[in-house]
Structure 1
Amino acid sequence: MSGTPPEWEALRARTREFIRTVVVPAEPALGERLTEEMRASLMQAAREAGVFAPHVAREYGGQGVPIEHWSAIFQEAGYSPIGASVLNCMAPDEGNMHMLGLIATDAQKQRYLAPLAAGVVRSCFAMTEPHPGAGSDPEALGTAAVRVPGGWLINGHKRFISGAEVAGFAIVMARNDASDGVPAGATMLLVEMDNPGLRIGEQIHAIDRAIAGGHPHVHFEDCFVADEAVLGAAGEGFRYAQVRLGPARLTHCMRWLGLARRSLDIALDRANERRIFGHRLGELGIAQEMIAQSVIDIETSNAIIAQTAQLLETDPKAGSAMSSIAKVFTSEAVYRVIDRAVQLCGGDGVTDNLPLASFLNEVRPFRIYDGSNETHKWAISRRALSQRRKQVAEGAPRLDVVGEAGA
C-alpha cells in the first residue's frame, strides 16, 4: 500500500497470501467454532510463514510492527473470521498484549505477556458489569478491591467477559478507596483464572462466534491477589483503560474492515457473473449504486483508521478521541457493506451457501461492544461543543450572530 515502508508492505503481502491460501480453506463450517487443535496447527504455520503476532515486539516473538502500520496487516488478517485468532492478534488478547507491553513490570511481562504473545495462553479483560455497574460508562464501576495485608481482596460481579472460558488470566478493573498513599479510583489487577476466589458463571449466548471462550459472567468472591498483581499504579486504572481501549477499538475496525472487503469481493463476483433481465447484474444501475456505496464506505473507513492510528502513535490523547469517530463510522459502514453484499447475492446471501449471513452476525455486535455507538456519539458531541466554546472564549467570532436584528 502507498506510503507503507517496504518491510511492512512485504509483511502485508505475506499475510494476504497466508490468509487466502492457508486460513480461508481451513475455516470451520458455518455455525461451528475453530477447534484448539486446528488453531494450534494454523498458528504454527503462521510462525513458519513469518506472519505471526504482527503487533508484538520482536523480543516476544512478534513482528514488531508500529501501530501506525497495523491497519493494512490487520485488514488482511480480518479477511477470514478466524484469521486474527490464527495470527494471535484477536480481541481481547491483542488489546491486553498492547497494554501489558506499555505498563507491566518486567516480571509481569515474563509471567503474562510472554506466554500470551507466544499463543500459549489466552486472556480476558474484566471490566463490564451487570446494571447498574460499569458498561458504556466505566465510572459506574461497582467491583471493589480492598487493601489487605500482603495484597488485595476483590469482590464483584462481571458480565460479558469475552474469552473468559478459555483464558489463563484476567485483567480486572476494580474500584478502590484511598489508602496508604493510593488515590481513590480504579485499580487494574492480574488474576489467574484458577484463583479460588474467581468463579466463571453463566454463559451469555451472543450472535457472534469469532471470540473463543464466549462472553460469560465472572464472579469475584473474596478473591485474594498479592501486591505484585497490581498492573501499573494502584488507583490509576481509569487512565490505563484508555491506553487499552483506544487502540482496541481501532483494531476491531481494522479486522472487521477486512471482512467487509471479503464480503464486497463475494458480491462483485456475483455481480460480474449473474445475469438477470438479459444483463449482468453489475451492469444494472441499482446494483452499481450499491457497489459504489460499499467502495466509498470501505475507503472512507480505511482513511479514518489510518489517521487515527497515526494520532495514537504521535498524540495518544487526540488519537483516543479520534478512535471514537473511527469506531462509530467503521462499525456502521462495515455492516452496510456486508448487508449490501447479502442483498446483491439474493437468496443465497441469507443461506449457508455463502458466509455473508454469518458475517453479519459477527459484525452487528460491534456497534455495542467497546462502548455503544450512542455513547461514543455523545462523547464526540461534547468534545465538539467544548472545543468551540474554548475557541470563542479565546477570541474567535461567533458565527451564528447575523446582526442586531437577528442576534
Structure 2
Amino acid sequence: MPRLASAALAGTAIEFYDFFVYGTAAALVLGPLYFPSFSPLAGTLAAFGTFAVGFLARPLGSALFGHVGDRYGRRPVLLASLLLTGVATVAVGFVPTYASIGLAAPVLLLVLRFLQGLGLGGEWGGAVLVTVEHAPPERRGLWASFPQIGPSVGFLLANGLVLALSALLTEAQFASWGWRVPFWAAGLLVLAGLWLRRSITETPQFRELAETGSRAEAPLAEVLRGHWRLLLLTGGALASAYSVFYGVSTWSLAYGTEHLGVDRTTMLACILLAVAVMTVWTPVAAVLGDRWGRRPLCLAGCAACALWMVPYAALLGTASPPAVAAGAVLALLSIGTVLSVIGAYLPELYAPRIRCTGAAVGYNLGGVLGGALTPIVATALADGSGPPWGVAAYLAGIAVVSLACFALLPETRPTAGPGGGAGTKAGAAEATAPA
C-alpha cells in the first residue's frame, strides 16, 4: 500500500502541477501577453476564460478515460492521462504571444488547455481507484487520501517555482520568459511520474470483473441511465470545494496584486502557506473519516465554508499579509475537510463495474460547476478595492448548495467485508442509489 499510494500521490501531484501552473499564469501574465487589445480587467477575464476551458474538458476526459478504466483496467488510465496532460503543459510554454502570431496565440492556448483538462479528467479516477481497490476497508479513507494530497503538492510545486522566479527575476524578465519555465519543467516531472507508475499492478476488483465477464459494456450509458441523480448530487456536492479553492488560490492572487496593491511575491507566499496547511490536514481528516464516516466530515466542511466566507473577504480586504494568510488558511482547512474523504467516498457510491466512470465524472462535474466559473464571476463581482463582499456571498451560496447535496447522499463507510460490495455500507449505497 505505501508503494501504490506513493505512486498515486506522485502522479496526481504532477498532473495537478500542470493544471495549477496555468491558473497562476492566467492570474499574473496571460492577459497582457495574449489579449493585449483588451482593458486590464477584460484581459484578466479573457485569461480566466481559457482557464475555464480546462474544467469544461475534464468531464469529457473522465468519460473517455473512465470507459478505458472500466473496460480495460485502471492501470492504462494512469499512464495515458499523465502523458497527455504533460505534453500539453510543456507545449503551453512554447506558444508565441499575440504580438508574434496574432489571434493564433490565444487559440493555441485554448486547444492546449482543453487537452490539459482532458488528461486531468482521467487522472483522478485512475489514481483513487488504484488505492481504494487495493486498500483494506477499515483504512480505505486514509489510503485514498494520498491521491488527494497530490493536488496540494502539485500546487505547492507550481506556485513555489513561480514564487522563486518572481523573486529572482525582474518584472520584464518574468513577463518575457520567466513565466514559461514552470511549463517547461513539467516535462521532467512527467518522465519521473511515468517511471514511478511503470510497476503498478492492476487492482483486485478489476481483475475479478475481467475474470467473471462482469465488465460494463458501456459504462457511461449505464451511469447516466441508472444513476443520473447520484451523478448530479455528487457534482453539486463538490462545487463548493472547487469554488473556494480556486477563489482563494487563483482569483485572490489576481485581486490582491491588481486591486489591493499587495506585492506578487507576498501574495503567492500567503496562498502557499494556506495550501501547505491543508496538505498536512488532509490525511488527519481522512483518518477521522475512517472512524466517523465520510458524510459527517463533508457536511462539517461545507458548513464551515459557508460561515467563513464573509470573514475571509474582510481579512482579504485589509491587504495585510498576516490577515490574508490567516483568512486563506481557514478557508482551505474547511474545504480540505471535504476533499480529504472524497477519494474514498465517491468510489464507494458506485459498483466496481462502473466505478471509474461514475466517480470521475461526478468529481469533475463539480469542477465545472464550481471551479470553471469562480475566477470569472469573482473578477466581475469585485472590480473595485476593499473587501469583496459580493464574492463572499457567491462562495457562501455555493457552499450552502453543496451542503444540501451532501445531506441527500448516503453514508458509505464500510462496516464489514472486503471491497465495496456485500456486507458494507458502500454496497448498500450503490444498490439503493436512486435512478
Query: TM-score under structure 1 normalisation?
Result: 0.34
Structure with greater contact order relative to length (CA < 8 Å, sep ≥ 6): 2
Indicate the structure with greater strand content. 1
Larger Rg: 1
Higher-helix-fraction structure: 2
